Structure formats: structure tokens, C-alpha cells
Amino acid sequence: MLVLLAVAQTAWPDEQGLPSDVTAEDILDALLGVQPPVPVKTPTWLAEAELRQGGGYAENILYSPFTEENRAFAVSEAELFVFRPPESTHRLSFYAFGHHRHYFDMDRRDAEYNAFARGEWEYRLAARGSFGLNANYHLFDQFFDASISELDIESDRLKQHDVGTGSFARYALWPRLTARVEGGYTKARLDDSDDDYDRWEGSLSLFGRVRSDLTLGVTYRYELNDYDHREKRTSVGEAIPGDAVDIAGQEWGLHGS
């Protein structure tokens, strides 16, 4: 009995010079060599990058009905996705993609480029919805189909810069029905061409959850391309001075997931 009493007395933290908040479980873990859990700190930013390399052989790379050129090519691609884990109500993300295709044994320009970058910010409205802003840049520098009306092979080249911005909003109307509205503006500029244009677009979507594993949606989309210099023409092909071309399009879509 005396021995048990002595052991019990040595277990009190104050008598051993230990902090008063030390528990018997902490002492047992120390005797057994159990390491205390290390707190995991969430990184401020997360990133994922991917590089791809390949090659192949393509026929009529100039899309010309007069001079066909077949060439072997090498392809390099890079992809980057960076995002910040959501803190309370904010989410930030950035995506970039680059494509380079090099043709071998060509006398004229021997490469094509395609690059895209997009940044997005989203603000969450509790569990019912969110709204946000985005900005993007797109570069084309490649051959294209100029049709049989073009005799100059050098004209079979398109270099275009698109700079755009947009906004979106999503809101749960009912527990099983969600609405999404999007709008955007893009300024497209083409080198060595008068086909520069401004694009306005908007869409409205409704998504309904039919089952836990099935969601159906319907989308209406409207797009307007306003050309800066292209003029309308009469039925015989004569240009109408001062009457710029506006091309509008509408689209309905039904989709599921």
C-alpha cells in the first residue's frame, strides 16, 4: 500500500515541475514515445504544371488548292494552373496554355503558335450562389484556309490577338433549381487585315437536379460581332459606304451531367 501511494503521488504535475495543464494521457504518450501531431498548414497558393512534347506528319499544311506542302512537325505544349484555396468567401485562380508547332524543311515561316491565359475571381454568397469577374487573352498565329480565291500563299496566315473580360453570377432559386448568368466583351485585332471586331456575348442557363446523380440544364446564348471596317454589300457585291457589318447569332442548348 505504501508503494502504490508513493507512485500515485509522483504522478501529480505540480510535484514534478510540469505545467499544470499536462494530462495523464500526455505523460503516457511521452513514456511510450508517441510523437505529438504536427499541425498541417494550408498553403496560400497551389499550382500544377505540365509539359508535353510530340511530333507527327501533316499534309497540305498551307490549306492551299494550288501548292500542297506536306511536312513532318514537332509539337511542344505547356499548361499551368494556379489557384488559391478559398478562404471564407473568396476564390482566385489563373490558367495558362501554350502550343508551339514547328515544321521541318520549310522555306517560308515554319512555326505556328497558340497561347491562352485566363484569371478569375469569385465571391461566394454562403451556400446559395456566387458572382465573379474574369479576364483573358488569346493569341493565334497559324495557317488558315484562304479558299480558292487566294493565289498568294503568304496570305494563308492568321495572326490575331483577343483581349476580353467578363462577369458571371450563379444563384439557387430553389433547392433543386439553379440559375447562371454570364456576360462578356472581347476586342479582336488581326494583323494585316481590316477584319478587326468587337464581340459582345451573354447567356442564361437553368440547371435542375432530377436525381442525386443527374442534372439537366437549358441554355440560351446571344453573340454580336461588330466589325470596325468591313462594310455591308449590295446583292451585286458593291460596298455600302459607312454601313459596317454586324453579325449576330443566337443559340439554344440542352445538356445534362
On whether both 34 and 53 belong to a single domain, the answer is no
- Domain tally for the chain? 2
pTM over the 0.85 mark? no
Q: Is the pLDDT higher at 96 or at 142? A: 96
| 3-state helix/strand/coil string of the chain | CHHHHHHHHHCCCHHHCCCCCCCHHHHHHHHHCCCCCCCCCCCCCEEEEEEEEEEEEECCCCCCCCCCCCEEEEEEEEEEEEEEEEECCEEEEEEEEEEEEEECCCCCCCEEEEEEEEEEEEEEECCCEEEEEEEEEEEEEEECCCCCCCCCHHHCEEEEEEEEEEEEEEEEEECCEEEEEEEEEEEEEECCCCCCEEEEEEEEEEEEEEECCEEEEEEEEEEEEEEEEEEEECCCCCEEEEEEEEEEEEEEEEEEC
Residues 58 and 183 in one domain: yes
CATH number at residue 160: 2.40.160
At residue 101, the pLDDT reads 95
Query: Do 133 and 241 share a domain, yes or no?
Result: yes
Could you report the per-residue pLDDT of 209-240, keeping only the tens digit for each?
A: 888 788 999 999 999 999 887 777 776 667 77
The dihedral built from the CA positions of residue 150, 155, 156 and 162, taken in this order, carries a sign that is negative
Task: Tell me, yes or no, whether 21 and 134 share the same domain.
Answer: no
| Co-location of 90 and 206 in the same domain | yes
Say what the pLDDT of residue 29 is.
64
pLDDT at 20 over 70: no
Are residues 138 and 19 both part of a single domain?
A: no
Same structural domain, 15 and 54: no
Instruction: List strands edge to edge, sheet with 46-58.
Output: 46-58, 71-87, 90-103, 111-125, 129-143, 157-174, 177-190, 197-211, 214-233, 239-256
The mean per-residue pLDDT over the stretch 40-57 comes to 87
Is the pLDDT confidence value at 103 over 90? Answer: yes
Taking the alpha carbons at both ends of the chain, their separation in whole angstroms is 72
- Domain membership of residue 230 as a residue range: 47-256
Using the predicted structure, report yes or no on whether residue 188 has a pLDDT greater than 60: yes
Least confident of 89-98, 108-117, 163-172, 239-248: 239-248
Question: Do residues 4 and 130 share a domain?
Answer: no
- Least confident span in 4-18, 69-83, 122-136: 4-18
28 and 118 housed in the same domain: no
Are both 144 and 170 inside the same structural domain?
Answer: yes
For residue 237 the three cell numbers come to 457585291
The predicted structure's pLDDT at residue 10:
43
Q: Are residues 137 and 225 in the same domain?
A: yes
Average pLDDT rounded to a whole number, residues 63-80: 88
13-23: average pLDDT: 54
Tell me, yes or no, whether 28 and 92 share the same domain: no
